[in-house]
Structure 1
Amino acid sequence: MKRKVVYNRWKVPSEEIQKQQDFDSILKGLKKDSTGYWKSIGFWGTVGTSAVALFFVISQF
């Protein structure tokens, strides 16, 4: 496979580079971290139900 070498490449103007460096819009586009599953009510409901079930199972023996 032969490589293509460009000798007289055109230079990118500084204004074009500055236009592409809009980091604030990138940061606004990112989603914020959602709270973890262990902080949700579904997690604690499952843990609570499991704890109550375990208590009843242990108390039967």
Structure 2
Amino acid sequence: MAERNYSKEYAREKEQRKLVGANLPISIAKEFDECCKKNGVSRYSVLKQFIIDYIEKNK
């Protein structure tokens, strides 16, 4: 089996993806985490779906 070329994988990931973040007050971040946990979803999935919905609504 061929060895993985992590540098190529990293470069491809960097070309095809962009990390989007938000700098929030701790209280809001904690409340968001609690809501996500209560609903059994990840922060990532909530934010990703919001962005997709926002794009579709505002094209």
Both structures adopt the same fold (TM-score exceeding 0.5): no
Rg larger for: 1
TM-score by length of 1: 0.29
TM-score by length of 2: 0.30
